[in-house]
Amino acid sequence: MRTSRSLIPSSAPRQSFFSRPAEQVAPELIGCLLVKRQEGGELLWGVIVEMEAYSQEEPACHGCRRRSPSNETLFGEPGRFYLYKSYGIHHCVNVAISFW
């Protein structure tokens, strides 16, 4: 079993880690721990167990059809997270990376 590690290696700046092709970034995120501190101080956390990588032109990409207020994060600088609920059940995270 693979142990969890921090999302971004300490030797790599945040944007440069994500400013690479999805085929390189996605496999390196498997097993990473995501942590969010709530306003009350409690921590929410989860381990990345699955990855999919899409180009912006692919229909499965949430940014494919149009830019909207709900998917605006996908059009920002590399490393930004886009959170959504799939089928109203599963919490999912997309990570914006550089497409060029």
Nearest to 52, CA basis, from 74, 77, 30 = 30
pLDDT at 39: 93
pLDDT at 9: 46
Query: Residue ranges per domain, the chain?
Result: 5-95
34: number of Cβ within 10 Å: 15
- Is 74 exposed, middle or buried, given 0-12, 13-18 or 19+ CB atoms closer than 10 A? buried
Residues 6+ apart with CB under 8 A from 64: 54, 56, 57, 58
Q: Which amino acid is at 10?
A: S
What is the homologous superfamily of the domain 5-95 according to CATH?
Methylpurine-DNA glycosylase (MPG) (3.10.300.10)
Nearest to 93, CA basis, from 32, 19, 20 = 32
List per-residue pLDDT tens for the chain, 100 residues long.
444 444 444 444 477 888 888 888 888 888 888 888 889 999 888 888 888 777 777 777 777 788 888 888 878 788 888 888 889 888 888 787 765 4
pLDDT at 1: 44
For residue 24, report the phi and psi dihedrals to the nearest 5 degrees.
Answer: -90, -40
| Token code pair at residue 84 | 């959504």
pLDDT at 98: 63
